[in-house]
């Protein structure tokens, strides 16, 4: 029996890279956080250098073997999951060097496999901080953060991963290396190629290294929790605080009482500093050097309460209390996972329309099934909502999966009506390809297809992500 193309490819890989370069697929790579997709690759490769990535891509192109790049595997839309056994999963986890830290340039060079939390701690030791931060920081890797243009809690002040990347190194499908590892904040020498790759989810090239922007640690941080009756009031408060203290606000997070119910239901350790449980909570974090800012903030909070925009408020007195406040917000994704969502949605809404979106969408879902629970939370300061629907207490999400399509139609439809986006920070992956085609601008989709064709003519890089296979 003649050997298949894939078998010949595997033989060539072992000859070039050694017999152990192709690792058998294990459960660590087979599963993803939400259990919606299974990685069907037979083999995983773990290059240790950009040259190895380049040489491997040259070989995969020669034999027309698809490659699915993978970082920490924390993605929630299936972008890291191969759909066929003859596709190769390429994990960047062994490319984990941190180098070229520069205090003057306020930058650090990292390989794609560097863990986000590790990098945060590295720069902290040097009295700097990396604003990119999210609940998965202990597991996610920088390459994946860039490939998905990750957001997190500090986007309000510092922007997404794209805004924090000064330079990039990328390997193209044919093995060509683009070395654009610059620390320049201004560079108008032609097309901004690097920003094409950031957020492309491994469909245009494989990110191997990056120059990341960092910031000096502020002398002081203050965290506050505000109790509110209505998300519209949260928006009004944001308008006021951004006008008066906008330069110092680096997080403005929305939490619903349903999220608090989930923390309690799943016995997650949290401490709510209010006598009565609010309908909505906003977490605010300010960072500053001038101590007068804190006094101004306290006066501002009193004004909000007198104006009946907030019902109550607490302010962190020390870092320990601040961490306890943040623990409430950061524990909600885990609570959601334990409860089990029927429908999970990462959407972006114009800030001025957030209140109406939540009200209208909640009403439509209640009309569909009054028993369903909505846990809406997220980064309200940048318009990013995680709008998730759950079964009634004591019941399981599988009992309501028949409602998924109806829920998707309600949520995405209302998002579209508000001129929002069906994906804010998690990407498109394999999960939202159909929705992208349905709700995306036709001119933009056509342009994306042309770009994909230019960089990956045969479609070997992460097939099925963003585009139909």
One digit per residue, the tens of pLDDT, for the chain of length 469 reads 457 999 999 999 999 999 999 999 999 999 998 888 999 999 999 999 999 999 999 999 999 999 999 999 999 999 999 999 999 999 999 999 999 999 999 999 999 999 999 999 999 999 999 999 988 899 999 999 999 999 989 999 999 999 999 999 999 999 999 999 999 988 888 999 999 999 999 999 999 999 999 999 999 999 999 999 999 999 999 999 999 999 999 999 999 999 999 999 999 988 899 988 999 999 999 999 999 999 999 999 999 999 999 999 999 989 999 999 999 999 999 999 999 999 999 999 999 999 999 999 999 999 999 999 999 999 999 999 999 999 999 999 999 999 999 999 999 999 999 999 999 999 999 999 999 999 999 999 999 999 999 999 999 999 999 998 7
> Are residues 314 and 170 located together in one domain of the fold?
no
In a domain, 464, yes or no: no
In a domain, 412, yes or no: yes
334 token code pair: 């885990």
> Are residues 177 and 254 located together in one domain of the fold?
no
Measured CA to CA in angstroms, residue 334 lies from 33, 210, 337, 385 at distances of: 11, 30, 5, 16
To the nearest 10°, report the CA torsion of 132, 136, 137, 143.
-70
CB-neighbour burial class of residue 191 (10 A; exposed 0-12, middle 13-18, buried 19+): exposed
Cross-strand bridge partners of residue 257: none
Which residue is listed with tokens 């805004």?
163
Whether residue 173 contacts residue 125, with contact meaning beta carbons closer than 8 Å, is answered with no
Phi, psi (5° rounding) for residue 309? -80, -30
Containing structural domain, residue 155: 98-216
SS3 230: coil
| Last residue within a domain, chosen from 36, 60, 91 | 91
| Last residue within a domain, chosen from 417, 435, 450 | 417
- pTM greater than 0.85: yes
> Are residues 201 and 288 located together in one domain of the fold?
no
> Are residues 198 and 280 located together in one domain of the fold?
no
Whether residue 69 contacts residue 87, with contact meaning beta carbons closer than 8 Å, is answered with no
Structure letter (DSSP) for residue 458: T
Beta strands in 71-140 (DSSP E): 88-91, 98-102, 107-111, 128-129
């Amino acid at each position: 029996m003649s050997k298949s193309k894939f078998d010949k490819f595997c033989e060539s890989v072992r000859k070039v890279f050694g017999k152990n370069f192709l690792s058998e697929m294990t459960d660590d790579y087979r599963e993803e956080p939400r259990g919606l997709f299974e990685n069907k690759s037979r083999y995983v490769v773990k290059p240790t250098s950009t040259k190895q990535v380049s040489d491997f891509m040259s070989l995969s192109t020669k034999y027309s073997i698809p490659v699915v790049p993978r970082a920490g595997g924390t993605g929630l839309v299936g972008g890291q999951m191969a759909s066929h056994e003859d596709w190769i999963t390429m994990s960047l986890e062994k490319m984990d060097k941190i180098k070229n830290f520069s205090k003057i340039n306020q930058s650090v060079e990292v390989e794609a496999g560097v863990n986000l939390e590790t990098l945060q701690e590295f720069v902290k030791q040097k009295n700097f901080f990396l604003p990119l931060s999210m609940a998965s920081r202990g597991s996610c890797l920088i390459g994946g953060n860039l490939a998905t243009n990750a957001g997190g809690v500090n986007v309000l002040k510092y922007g997404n991963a794209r805004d924090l990347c000064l330079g990039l190194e990328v390997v193209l499908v044919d093995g060509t290396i683009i070395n654009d590892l610059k620390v320049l904040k201004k560079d108008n020498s032609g097309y901004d190629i690097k920003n094409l790759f950031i957020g492309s989810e491994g469909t245009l090239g494989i990110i191997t290294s990056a120059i990341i922007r960092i910031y000096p640690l502020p002398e002081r941080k203050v965290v506050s929790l505000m109790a509110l009756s209505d998300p519209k009031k949260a928006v009004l408060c944001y308008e006021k605080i951004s006008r008066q203290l906008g330069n110092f606000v680096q997080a403005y997070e929305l939490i619903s009482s349903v999220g608090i119910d989930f923390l309690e239901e799943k016995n997650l350790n949290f401490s709510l500093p209010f006598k009565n449980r609010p309908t909505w909570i906003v977490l605010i974090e300010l960072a500053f050097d001038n101590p007068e800012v804190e006094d101004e903030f306290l006066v501002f909070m009193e004004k909000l309460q007198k104006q009946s925009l907030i019902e109550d408020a607490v302010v962190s007195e020390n870092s320990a209390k601040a961490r306890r406040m943040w623990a409430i917000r950061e524990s909600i994704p885990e609570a959601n996972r334990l409860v089990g969502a029927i429908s999970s949605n990462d959407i972006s809404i114009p800030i001025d329309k957030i209140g109406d979106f939540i009200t209208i969408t909640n009403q439509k879902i209640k009309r569909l099934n009054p028993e369903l629970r909505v846990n809406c939370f997220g980064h309200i300061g940048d318009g990013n909502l995680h709008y998730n629907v759950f079964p009634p207490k004591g019941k399981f999400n599988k009992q309501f999966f028949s409602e998924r399509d109806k829920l998707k139609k309600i949520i995405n439809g209302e998002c579209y009506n508000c001129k929002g986006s069906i994906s804010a920070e998690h990407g498109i992956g394999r999960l939202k390809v159909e929705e992208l085609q349905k709700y995306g601008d036709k001119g933009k989709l056509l342009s994306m297809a042309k770009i994909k064709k230019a960089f990956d003519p045969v479609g070997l890089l992460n097939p099925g992500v963003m585009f139909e296979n």
